[in-house]
């Protein structure tokens, strides 16, 4: 194609995200039938109308049908699936027949989107039938898809599917490991086991020669028998994460408890719902280990609702000072989220940015364009400390901007600019794959919730999972450090930029 800049209607996000259907085909279907999303597209495909379109032969139509089905199967956001899965888990644990229960599959690996909820239950053989009967009659169930001795598949009223496996005490540890998957990891484990004289399967670990079963209580025991270090479920996704993980002592994967503050928070001075006072008191009560929060309202030189006008900067700062005085320490930091404009310049001047402790620069327009140069230019601004939601993706709605990430991460590393892991359930941006690429270049990351209401602060854990899946070390995450560490990071940026000139 002559045109090197990719451009497409933003509404087509979820369709364009399907890698097995070409952009040209999506555009053709969209233009001919006016479809904008997976459901509409499926209807056209299933009705047989697609075959009428020029260039769409039977094989192509079948491939598209299959790709759509797969995309449909993988479209629940981790957060909503986790809430439904944990609710189900709590309900199931109430049954006296259930001795142990856990979520497995991609939900346990904390993948950003999941197709269904997988669950493993430990139950005495003699009580299985009884339990299956109860499971199929839970009030959240809308339909029983399949039921057998070891497995029950249910469709919930929220349209999610739950696959429940039943096992006994002897097989539970192996089953937990096996059903956490993914498939390639089980194959890899089976090979590792075989090389060491064992047979590993969903039903247990046994001696390859004698066939004798080896008693194991927990996943850790299986790794122990195989003389391997335990691998967290988040690190079982691909071969690369195993290699990366091997470099670190596993205890250094970041944890929620190590996060010292939230660095993107919106108040009612901008488009957030709560006053800074409410936010500060809430966070101090709910997350007593946090040492700081950064209020980062949107700013605009135009008088628009939902954004802070520069004439109000000093009033907001006075309010922050008043509250910090009341609290007795500088818990609340002055931050701002500034727009990266189309030419890569910012929506505020350097003099305006200099008034803040922490500046996040984000793209809020033209997501479908190659945004490499905008991001690079923002990194070069001495007042910009972090790039917010760098890829701009909205899961299932908007695909990541086409960006040369090598170039952006190199620029972030040489200018000492951090990249955000935005922990909102529909963003998770950067995602695990891009975080992995960023830390390879030495880029520091900040995990933020981008909170606009009080319950949003809980999203922090989602961002921590992204970092863990990327095999981050806690030192890759800037906000595992104290505010002194962050001040140091800012000073370092100025030093790096001076050296460059």
Other beta carbons less than 10 A from residue 201's beta carbon: 15
Pick from 362, 391, 417, 480: which binds Zn ion (CB under 5 A)? 362
Q: Which stretch binds Zn ion (CB under 5 A): 73-81, 269-277, 287-295, 354-362?
A: 354-362
Distance CA 187, CA 344 (A): 47
C-beta separation of 130 from 112 below 8 A:
no
The nearer residue to Zn ion, 67 or 378, going by C-beta atoms, is: 378
Q: Which stretch binds Zn ion (CB under 5 A): 70-78, 171-179, 277-285, 356-364?
A: 356-364
Residue among 334, 401, 411 nearest 370 (CA): 401
Q: Which stretch binds Zn ion (CB under 5 A): 86-94, 124-132, 171-179, 360-368?
A: 360-368
Q: From the CB of 271, what's the least distance to Zn ion, in Å?
A: 10
169-196 b/e (C-beta count within 10 Å ≥ 16 → b): eebbbbbbbbbbbeeebbeebeeebeee
The nearer residue to Zn ion, 104 or 422, going by C-beta atoms, is: 422
Q: Which stretch binds Zn ion (CB under 5 A): 3-11, 71-79, 252-260, 380-388?
A: 380-388
Q: From the CB of 454, what's the least distance to Zn ion, in Å?
A: 19
Query: Phi then psi for 313, rounded to 5 degrees?
Result: -55, -50
Q: Which of residues 170-209 bind Zn ion (CB under 5 A)?
A: none
Q: Which of residues 93-112 bind Zn ion (CB under 5 A)?
A: none
Q: From the CB of 450, what's the least distance to Zn ion, in Å?
A: 7
The nearer residue to Zn ion, 122 or 362, going by C-beta atoms, is: 362
Distance CA 114, CA 266 (A): 29
The nearer residue to Zn ion, 254 or 388, going by C-beta atoms, is: 388
Q: Which stretch binds Zn ion (CB under 5 A): 167-175, 198-206, 208-216, 385-393?
A: 385-393
Q: From the CB of 420, what's the least distance to Zn ion, in Å?
A: 9
Q: Is the peptide bond before 182 cis (omega within 30 degrees of 0)?
A: yes
Q: Which residue is nearest to Zn ion (CB)?
A: 362
The nearer residue to Zn ion, 302 or 484, going by C-beta atoms, is: 302
Q: From the CB of 432, what's the least distance to Zn ion, in Å?
A: 20
Distance CA 300, CA 306 (A): 9
Distance CA 198, CA 118 (A): 27
C-beta separation of 320 from 332 below 8 A:
yes
Q: In what order do the strands lie in the sheet with 445-448?
A: 261-265, 292-298, 332-339, 358-362, 386-388, 418-422, 445-448
Q: Which stretch binds Zn ion (CB under 5 A): 134-142, 187-195, 245-253, 355-363?
A: 355-363
The nearer residue to Zn ion, 180 or 362, going by C-beta atoms, is: 362
Q: From the CB of 266, what's the least distance to Zn ion, in Å?
A: 9
Q: From the CB of 347, what's the least distance to Zn ion, in Å?
A: 12
The nearer residue to Zn ion, 270 or 481, going by C-beta atoms, is: 270
Q: What is the DSSP string of 53-88?
A: STT--HHHHHHHHHHHHHHHHT-EEHHHHHHHHHHH
Q: From the CB of 362, what's the least distance to Zn ion, in Å?
A: 4
Distance CA 419, CA 194 (A): 42
The nearer residue to Zn ion, 362 or 391, going by C-beta atoms, is: 362
Q: Is the dihedral of CA 137, 141, 143, 144 positive or negative?
A: negative
State which H helix or E strand residue 414 sits in. helix 405-415
The nearer residue to Zn ion, 237 or 262, going by C-beta atoms, is: 262
Distance CA 38, CA 13 (A): 10
Residue among 189, 141, 190 nearest 162 (CA): 141
Q: Which stretch binds Zn ion (CB under 5 A): 25-33, 311-319, 388-396, 489-497?
A: 388-396
The nearer residue to Zn ion, 456 or 468, going by C-beta atoms, is: 456
SS3 130: helix
Q: From the CB of 145, what's the least distance to Zn ion, in Å?
A: 40
**Total binding residues toward Zn ion, as defined by CB under 5 A:** 2
Residues within the interface to Zn ion (CB under 5 A): 362, 388
């Amino acid at each position: 194609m002559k045109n090197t800049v990719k451009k497409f209607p933003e509404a087509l996000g979820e369709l364009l995200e399907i890698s097995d259907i070409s952009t040209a085909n999506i555009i053709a279907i969209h233009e001919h039938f006016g479809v904008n999303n997976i459901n509409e597209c499926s209807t056209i495909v299933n009705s047989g109308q697609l075959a009428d379109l020029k260039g769409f032969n039977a094989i192509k139509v079948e491939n598209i049908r299959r790709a759509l089905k797969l995309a449909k199967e993988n479209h629940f956001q981790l957060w909503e699936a986790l809430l439904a899965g944990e609710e189900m888990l709590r309900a199931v644990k109430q049954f006296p027949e259930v001795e142990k229960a856990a979520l497995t599959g991609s939900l346990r690996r904390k993948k950003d989107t999941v197709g269904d909820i997988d669950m493993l239950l430990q139950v005495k053989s003699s009580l299985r039938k009884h339990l299956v009967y109860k499971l199929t009659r839970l009030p959240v169930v809308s339909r029983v898809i399949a039921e057998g001795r070891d497995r029950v598949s249910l469709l919930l009223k929220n349209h999610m599917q739950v696959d429940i496996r039943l096992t006994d005490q002897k097989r539970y540890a192996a089953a937990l490991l096996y059903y956490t998957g993914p498939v390639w990891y089980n194959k890899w484990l089976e090979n590792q086991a075989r090389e060491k004289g064992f047979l590993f399967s969903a039903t247990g670990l046994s001696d390859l020669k004698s066939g004798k079963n080896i008693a194991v209580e927990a996943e850790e025991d299986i790794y122990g028998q195989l003389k391997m270090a335990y691998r967290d479920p988040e690190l079982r996704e691909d071969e690369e994460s195993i290699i990366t993980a091997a470099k670190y002592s596993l205890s250094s994967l970041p944890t929620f408890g190590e996060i010292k503050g939230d660095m993107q928070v919106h108040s009612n001075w901008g488009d957030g719902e709560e006053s800074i006072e409410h936010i500060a008191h809430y966070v101090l009560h709910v997350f007593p280990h946090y040492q700081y929060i950064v209020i980062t309202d949107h700013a605009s030189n135009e008088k628009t609702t939902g954004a802070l006008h520069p004439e109000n900067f000093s009033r907001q700062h006075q309010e922050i000072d008043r509250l910090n005085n009341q609290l007795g320490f500088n818990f609340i930091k002055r931050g701002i989220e500034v727009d990266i404009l189309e030419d890569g310049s910012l929506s505020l001047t350097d003099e305006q940015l200099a008034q803040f402790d922490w500046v996040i620069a984000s793209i809020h327009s033209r997501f479908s364009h190659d945004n490499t140069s905008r991001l690079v230019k923002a990194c070069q601004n001495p007042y910009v400390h972090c790039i917010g939601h760098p890829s701009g993706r909205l899961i299932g709605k908007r695909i990541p901007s086409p960006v040369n990430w090598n170039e952006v991460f190199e620029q972030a590393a040489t200018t000492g600019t951090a990249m955000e892991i935005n922990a909102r359930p529909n963003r998770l941006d950067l995602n695990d794959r891009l975080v992995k690429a960023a830390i390879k270049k030495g880029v520091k990351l900040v995990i933020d919730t981008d909170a606009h209401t009080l319950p949003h602060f809980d999203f922090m854990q989602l961002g921590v999972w992204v970092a863990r899946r990327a095999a981050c070390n806690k030192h890759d995450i800037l906000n595992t450090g104290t505010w002194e560490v962050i001040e140091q990071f800012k000073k370092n940026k100025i030093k790096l930029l001076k050296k460059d000139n």
